[in-house]
Amino acid sequence: MSSHAPHPSVGPDAAARHAHRVGSRRVLSLVGGALLLPGLLLAQEPGVVVQVEVEPASIQIGAGENTPISARALDARGNEVSAEFTFAAPRGAIQIAGGVLLAVEPGYHEVVVSLFPAPEVRWEGEEPPSTVVPVTVGWPAVSEVHVTGGSALYEGSTVRHQVSAHHADGSPRPRRAADVRWSSSDPSVATVNEFGVVRGVGTGTVEIRAEVEGVAGSVSYDVRSFPAEQLEISTEARQVRTGDVVHFQVRALDGQGNEISDLPITWSHTFIAHDSIGSHVGGSGITRDGRFVGEYAGEYTILANAGRLTATHTLWVEHRGVVQPVEFRGQGRVGNQHTSDLWVWEGVDGRDYAITGTWGSGGWALIWDVTDPTNIVRTDSIQVDARTVNDVKVSPDGRYATMTREGASNRRNGLVILDLAEPAHPVIAARFDDDLAGGVHNAFPTNDHVFALSGGEKYVIIDVSDLYNPRRVGEFQYPGARIHDVWVKDGIAYSAQRPYGGIIVDVGDGRWGGSPENPVFVSKTGPTPEGGGAHTVYPYYQESTGRMLLFMADEILSREGHALGEGAGRSLVVDPYDPETGEGGRPSMSSGYMHIFDITDHENPVMIARYHVPEAGTHNTWVEDDVLYQGYWEGGMRVVDVSGELMGDIYTQNREIAVFKPFDPTGYIANAPFVWSAMPHKGHIFFSDFNSGLWAVEVTPREQMIP
């Protein structure tokens, strides 16, 4: 599983408590925790810090640009005190590393710079001094505008046009931030409205123009008289369920019965609910190529329109009916610390095992025998120098496991490789930190290589043919991106990198000349609609359709902008309830959802669908046999039917098979489900919960109802 932790640090020391407080101020610490930069070592004499001064005190910058940023601590006399600082900024908008601030997301942002509470540093007041640096990020200039529309336009027909604006570096300007001005060269031939909808009203030549910030693109048409006399619509679909994508064919014929192949068609539908109340407004609409999906059971009438002609076809859509019971089987309870990622595998001894990590809890990984899911037994534990073990994975051949480290005492985090020759009692084969700067948030092992994240900036490729002597052989870094996850399938690496979405790289497939020693960029998906998107990725080949899909999940650890959670700010609360102070013990909150891309053409990814549970947020993902297993934070462990062609929001299409929320009254935070990862294994589903450890459940066949 991809593994990604909530960001504010937590632990028994003052530094960890301070990082937690910073995290609650509507900002998140960078690189999975506080980002430490050396203070200037020019102190005249030690003193009590009363002020943090930052240079520059405010920043105006363009997206994609960078600027130096530094801080110093001053005592009451204005003397500089040797110190270090935490820099906390909105995740996905501002990146800070090595004393350099990189602007990513346009808008107004704030960077909170705080004194790092080291034992040797004294300060005035209860909280370490801090200051806020306002950062205003503007858009770069638009350099290109492209307009796309239809292949033809006839008098009386309508074509909707799309515009895309790009900056000089090729990055797109989001539509919401592009002020498009549409115009027609001859409104007596064709008109265009503010949404790019063009209607032929006469005959002749016309140019449709879209302008963004003085840069224009256009398309031209030779508008002719409307030629069609008849419109026919048909489909081969007979029995349709919610979520099924139905393809319609339309034939336009002239007065002699000849087919007109380029006549623009517009699509719509009407809906009658299956019940007498008629409470649903209808499902997803038709796309321009004649595809339809019904999200609610009921009667749909599909309308194809061209000029004065309309053809209709009526469908009855049944409820999908995929819900199955989910039964609790066992738990490996962890109530004294937070649990992070998990991986389940069959050991070389033929028994089944799981490894789980811990978050903010002293660098532990736990080993479990899960051969009998109703009797999960911890067989061993391994501690390394780290605050958090975010990610744990096992190689496909079961030869070794990886543990990622964040918050090591010497700040040399790196990767830990476990020899699984005796899977119940793994031993550390190697610690590897060559070129793994900062926290190692995630890693992906193949049989011979490990792809390990380095400080959120890149992934380093390590040859582990000899477990006890790993060696670095390559790396890949996408400029200006913040990497959170990498997954490798059939020689292609897929990584989640804000703000650019999914990055696809040839690391051994060879079609683009790539190898572990020479990774070659192939393409990127582009940004996702949610601001916290591109957090985890999962590539999946769908045999039923022959399509290659990429599932990309958000992680947004707040509910800002939502009625549920508005005003709470950053809502990751990680401490148990303290009866003396009355603090802690509140459930965490999240938002965001799953974005699904068709990447069959790896060079041209297309977003096709999403899975969006409205009152929770996604985390880690697994897909197997056309079933999605999703860790959905406080939304629990969710099992979803992703068979067949996907389109629209599959949550509203009755595709959910099962949901299990792990309530545990003795959890680290009691009765607060917060599911990190889920993974199927031999008929059971294992998942890790942030507050209560390892769980095993089983989805059982649905009993037939007897009249």
Which of 385, 470, 484 is CA-nearest to residue 3? Answer: 484
Three-state SS sequence of 13-57: CHHHHHHHHHHCCCCEEHHHCCCEEECCCCCCCCCEEEEEEEECC
Q: Report the distance separating Cα 391 and Cα 404, nearest Å.
A: 5
pLDDT given at position 192: 98
Q: Spell 120-136 as b/e; 16+ CB within 10 A means b.
A: ebebeeeebbbbebebe
SS3 per-residue string spanning 403-419: EECECCCCCCCCEEEEE
C-alpha 16/C-alpha 217 separation (Å) is 53
Both tokens assigned to 199: 């209607």
Selected from 2.130.10.10, 1.25.40.10, 2.60.40.1080, 3.40.50.300, the CATH number assigned to the domain covering 14-138 reads 2.60.40.1080
Q: Report CA-CA distances (Å) from 280 to 292, 299, 314.
A: 17, 11, 17
Query: How far is CA 571 from each of CA 35, 128, 442, 498, rounded to the nearest angstrom?
Result: 20, 22, 23, 21
pLDDT of residue 419: 98
Q: Give the integer Cα–Cα distance in Å for 72 and 54.
A: 7
Torsion angle of C-alpha atoms 583, 588, 589, 595, degrees rounded to 10: 160
| pLDDT computed for residue 104 by the predictor | 81
- Of 320, 270, 269, 322, nearest to 296 (Cα)? 320
Per-residue model confidence (pLDDT) at position 356:
98
Q: Give the mean pLDDT per block of 10 residues along the chain (707 residues).
A: 34 34 33 39 61 96 90 92 88 81 89 89 89 94 94 96 90 84 98 97 98 96 97 93 95 96 93 65 70 90 94 94 96 95 97 96 96 98 94 97 92 92 98 88 97 93 97 93 93 92 96 97 86 83 96 86 64 75 84 95 96 93 98 97 95 96 95 96 97 97 63
Distance between CA atoms of 430 and 181, rounded to whole angstroms? 60
The tens digit of pLDDT for each residue in 85-97 reads 989 888 668 888 7
Tell me how far apart the alpha carbons of residues 122 and 138 are, in angstroms, rounded to a whole number: 38
How many residues are given for the chain?
Answer: 707
What's the pLDDT tens digit per position in 385-413?
A: 999 999 999 999 999 999 999 988 887 88
**425 Rama class: left (phi>0) / alpha (psi -120 to 50) / beta:** beta
Dihedral pair phi/psi, residue 328, rounded to 5°: -65, 135
Nearest to 368 by CA among 352, 350, 383: 352
- A 10 A CB-CB count for 690 gives 28
Residues 117 and 52: beta-carbon distance below 8 Å = no
pTM of the model: 0.84
Whether residue 129 has a cis bond before it, omega within 30° of 0: no
State how far the Cα of 175 lies from the Cα of 549, in Å rounded to an integer. Answer: 25
Please, are residues 243 and 655 in contact by the beta-carbon 8 Å criterion?
yes
Identify which of 531, 544, 505 has the alpha carbon closest to the alpha carbon of residue 645.
544
pLDDT of residue 11: 30
Cα distance from N-terminal residue to C-terminal residue, the chain: 44
- Which pLDDT score is estimated for 572? 52
Which regions of 117-214 does DSSP assign to beta strands (E)? Answer: 122-123, 130-138, 142-148, 158-160, 162-167, 172-173, 180-184, 190-192, 197-200, 204-212
